[in-house]
């Protein structure tokens, strides 16, 4: 739970009663709003003076009708051509609902490169925790309390020194929307010993007033896309086949049990894609996937880099010490009709090759948990995970996080699993470093959100693309085991690349003004 510095809060950090909290109403006048926040600002500033360092006050307000993607579109549309916006967006299905989180602006940020990146991430989050004070409200014992907590967004690179802007960010502004409920708008405000309380109160009033105005504005016509012919995707088949053969040779001599080969395909589009519209399209057409976008701020007139995609694979979910991990490996296409779809599913479930590929992933996760003294609960047989254009074998793994073990400690052991790297882990990584001809950036790397108490939701950055203006790099991969057939693996990579190709071809309606 975030620390409590307010005298009207009980020992639990929760308000003792509704009258103890002076709520903000966005319909109130500026003078009323500033007066409401005066005690909070004064208490936080007193703490900053006592500790000698700035504190962070995290304030939230539920707002009806506020759409995170519409806010992102307006924020991007309001920028002059020479400016860019750093932002993080993650939208994932949970128990039949879609949870959408947007953060923009950087209040605190940590570069996530180098071999000690997971340890540095843990230290960053734990170092922030005593200095971030959340109000109003308390943290109920329910996953919904993510609405009442400031979140940090993390994007790792696949390898310690991968390029692409890997970072851990506490944003200045955050929105969280659970499907069918109010959106929670959050402002993280730095308060130093010499800060001007009146100016800070003005910032608070301005932020919530702007969010209220955006909530009352007409929503974009997300379903009014203009389909265009999809761009041509040219896989360098000869070079890819040669790499698959090298992997099979390494497996044959016993150096590896499995290697996951990735392919990168570069495209140049007629114009830069409209990112919010593209994300809305992915949510609509890949409802069972986690849709994400991480954009870094750029300097000068260079376009920002945006890493986005629709991932079917949740790497790690941690809530109050309970851990859930997806093992996803083994793939086949969807059928053209119900009968063909069922036949392909049966083929996948009975495939010795796919079952073997899947079990290496389960084993790699089991070993990673074992190194931390964890005893996972694993389903005896994989089940089908059906997506829009592909179906996978999936095993859900559950465990309890031992005391003193942080989410980032577990992540350091897990990444990369045999689903995206290979098995054994270190041998596969060395093989990829030698033979893979491009930097994966954040492809197949962990990304998502964490809170200051060690809870988090992380997905694997697959079915993804790195976008820089009109230039796009698409990524996809396939797992190679002893009885893999090279031509089939190339076909699987082509199939996975299609997840984003059609989305990149669409054009938003002219009326959106992006």
Catalytic hit among 34, 258, 457, 492:
258
Give yes or no for a contact between 230 and 502, defined as CB atoms under 8 angstroms apart: yes
Beta bridge partners of 468: 305, 471
Q: Which of 267, 275, 259 is nearest to 329 (CA)?
A: 259
C-alpha distances in angstroms, 259 versus 73, 98, 192, 246, 496?
A: 40, 33, 51, 10, 17
DSSP H or E run through 275: helix 275-285
Active site residue: 148, 283, 313, 489, which one? 313
Which helix (DSSP H) or strand (DSSP E) does residue 480 occupy?
strand 471-480
Give the integer Cα–Cα distance in Å for 235 and 404: 46
Distance CA 244, CA 256 (A): 13
Locus of tokens 């931390």? 372
Q: Kindly state the DSSP code that residue 425 receives in the 8-state scheme.
A: H
- The secondary element (H helix, E strand) that includes residue 71 is helix 68-77
Let me know: does 471 contact 463? Beta carbons within 8 Å.
no
Residue 283 designated active-site: no
Please confirm, yes or no, whether 97 is among the known catalytic residues: no
How far apart, in whole angstroms, are the C-alpha atoms of residue 321 and residue 236?
45
CB within 8 A of 292, min separation 6: which ones?
89, 90, 91, 307, 308, 309, 310, 311, 447, 448, 459, 461
Residues with a catalytic annotation lie at 258, 313
């Amino acid at each position: 739970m975030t620390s409590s510095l307010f005298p009207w809060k009980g020992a639990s950090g929760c308000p003792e009663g509704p009258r103890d909290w002076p709520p903000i109403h966005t319909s109130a006048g500026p003078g009323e709003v500033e007066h409401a926040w005066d005690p909070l600002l004064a208490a936080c500033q007193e703490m900053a003076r006592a500790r000698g360092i700035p504190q962070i006050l995290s304030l939230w307000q539920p707002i009806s009708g506020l759409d995170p993607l519409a806010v992102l579109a307006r924020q991007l549309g309001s920028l002059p051509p020479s400016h860019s916006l750093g932002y993080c967006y993650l939208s994932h299905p949970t128990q039949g609902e879609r949870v959408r989180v947007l953060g923009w602006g950087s209040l605190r940020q940590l570069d996530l490169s180098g071999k000690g990146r997971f340890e540095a991430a843990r230290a960053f989050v734990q170092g922030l925790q005593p200095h971030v004070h959340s109000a109003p409200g308390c943290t109920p014992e329910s996953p919904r309390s993510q609405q009442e907590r400031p979140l940090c967004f993390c994007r790792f690179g696949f390898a310690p020194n991968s390029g692409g802007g890997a970072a851990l960010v506490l944003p200045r502004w955050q929105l969280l929307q659970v499907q069918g409920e109010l959106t929670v708008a959050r402002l993280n405000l730095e308060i130093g010993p010499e800060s001007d309380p009146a100016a800070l109160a003005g910032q608070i009033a301005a932020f919530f007033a702007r969010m209220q105005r955006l909530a009352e504005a007409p929503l974009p016509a997300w379903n009014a896309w203009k389909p265009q012919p999809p761009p041509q995707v040219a896989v360098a088949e000869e070079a890819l086949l040669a790499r698959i053969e090298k992997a099979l040779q390494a497996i044959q001599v016993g150096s590896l049990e499995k290697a996951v080969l990735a392919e990168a395909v570069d495209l140049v589009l007629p114009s830069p894609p409209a990112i919010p519209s593209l994300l809305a399209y992915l949510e609509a057409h890949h409802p069972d996937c986690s849709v994400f976008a991480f954009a870094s701020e750029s300097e000068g007139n260079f376009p920002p880099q945006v890493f986005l995609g629709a991932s079917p694979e949740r790497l790690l979910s941690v809530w109050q010490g309970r851990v859930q991990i997806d093992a996803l490996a083994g793939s086949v296409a969807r059928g053209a009709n119900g009968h063909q779809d069922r036949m392909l599913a049966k083929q996948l479930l009975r495939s010795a090759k796919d079952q073997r590929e899947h079990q290496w992933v389960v084993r790699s996760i089991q070993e990673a948990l074992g190194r931390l003294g964890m005893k996972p609960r694993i389903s005896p047989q994989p089940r089908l995970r059906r997506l829009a254009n592909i179906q996978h074998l999936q095993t859900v793994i559950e465990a309890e996080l031992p005391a003193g073990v942080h989410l980032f400690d577990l992540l350091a052991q897990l990444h990369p699993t045999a689903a995206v790297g290979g098995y054994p882990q270190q041998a596969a990584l060395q093989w990829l470093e030698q033979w893979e001809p491009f930097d994966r950036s954040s492809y197949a790397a962990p990304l998502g959100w964490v809170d200051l108490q060690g809870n988090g939701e992380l997905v694997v950055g697959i079915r993804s693309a790195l976008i820089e203006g009109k230039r796009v790099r698409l990524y996809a991969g396939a797992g190679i085991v002893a009885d893999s057939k090279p031509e089939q693996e190339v076909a699987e990579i082509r199939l996975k690349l299609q997840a984003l190709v059609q989305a990149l071809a669409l054009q938003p309606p002219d009326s959106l003004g992006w």
